Structure 1
Amino acid sequence: KKKKSSSSFDLNLDYLSNSSESDITPEVYERTATLVNEELKKFFRPEFLNRVDEIIVFSHLTKNDVRKISDIMIAQLADRLKEKEITLEITPRVKQIIVEEGFDPIYGARPLRRAVMRLLEDNLAKEFLTKTLHPHTHLVIDADSYDNILVNVDYSLV
């Protein structure tokens, strides 16, 4: 019978979560890197740390970062639809909902990808399954007052 092993990397890095976007200066970054290295030295044996080439400290994503990433993801989705000669328009309200649901300073952009899939791609897939979407169709994704996602299909360009 194999023995199960588990590792816990629960480093006490709570102070990293408390800095805001405006706090990130070169001095703050250096101090953070020093604190991270000190915590790593407390947690890992020197033999292990000597095998690590470099330790990189990343800053948390800000809402503005997530907004920019969501714009890139939406553009990629629009490009995939453009290959089928279907145009896509996302209202500012929907973009805001995506950013709100996709923003998590701890987990980075992972929740954002799930938000784009759930709010945009899943709703578009339902439209593709229930309606015939011809080339030159224009899709507008909007939200109602309860933040429910609505896909409006405009066939006038057909």
Structure 2
Amino acid sequence: LDDGRLTDGQGRTVDFTNAELVKTSNLAVDPRDFFKPEFVNRIDEIIRFRPLTEADLAQVVEIQLGALRRRLEQRRLFLEVDGGALAWLARRGYDPDYGARPLKRVIQREIGDRLAMALLEGSYGEGATVRVSVADDELVLTSGAT
């Protein structure tokens, strides 16, 4: 990359003169202590991100739920998630090592999959509102008219 070219494993060369590369890592240590100096010397800037706060996690939960809401609205179904359920999802969807990456899977498993089964069983009709809350440390899905 010093000359603005990248050569792949098959010998093909690509022009990288106007490219910017972003490298990411989940290293718990300073990259200078982990990588060889030849690699670190090629990095212009190292940006360390702070851990996610509860407020950050709440925003990530809302973003992920937004995708599910849009899919449901195409079927004229509506999703309401109360504050307790939002906090429950944030706790279950966060891992200190992986951040909020598990959140999407938690939402799919705990709401999406259960809702899909309920739809197949005819538990929710067109125009229904699916309400998500917490009882006994478990998510509860209930139906209500809009």
**Alpha-carbon displacement from aligned partner over 1:107-137 (angstroms, at most 9, x marks no partner):** 2111222221222112211211222643212
Report what 2:59 is aligned to: 68
Partner deviation per Cα, 1:5-53 (whole Å, 9 max, x = no partner): xxxx99663xxxxxxxxxxxxxxxxxxxxxx3xxx33433222223334
Q: For the Cα contact (< 8 Å) 1:60–1:106, is it kept in 2? A: no
8 Å contact from structure 1 (residues 127, 151) kept in 2: no
1:115 lines up with 2:106 in the alignment: yes
Q: Shift in Å at residue 102 of structure 1?
A: 1.8
Matched position secondary structure for 1:110: coil
Decide which of 75, 91, 103 is 1:84's aligned counterpart.
75
What per-residue deviation string (whole Å, max 9, x for no partner) do you get for residues 86-114 of structure 1?
Answer: 11111222112111112334321112222
- 1:36-55 equivalences under 5 Å are 36=30, 40-55=31-46
2:85 is aligned with what amino acid? V
Partner Cα separation in structure 1 for residue 50 and residue 70 of structure 2: 30
Percent identical across equivalent pairs?
31
* Pairwise CA distance, 1:150: 2.2
User: What is the TM-score when the length of structure 1 is the normalising length?
Assistant: 0.65
Q: TM-score, normalised by structure 2?
A: 0.69
Could you say which residue in structure 1 is the equivalent of 2:16? Answer: none
Structure 1, unpaired ranges of 5+: 1-8, 14-35
Q: If each structure's strand is expressed as a fraction of its own residues, which one has the higher value?
A: 2
Change (3 A) 1:149 1:54: same
C-alpha separation in 2, matches of 1:103 and 1:88: 22
Identify, as 1 or 2, the structure richer in helix: 1
- Cα distance in 1 for residues equivalent to 2:34 and 2:127: 59
Residues 1-150 of structure 1 mapped to structure 2, 5 A cutoff: 13=29, 36=30, 40-131=31-122, 133-144=124-135, 146-150=136-140
Q: Given that residues 102 and 112 in structure 1 are in contact (C-alpha distance below 8 angstroms), is that contact kept between their aligned partners in structure 2?
A: yes
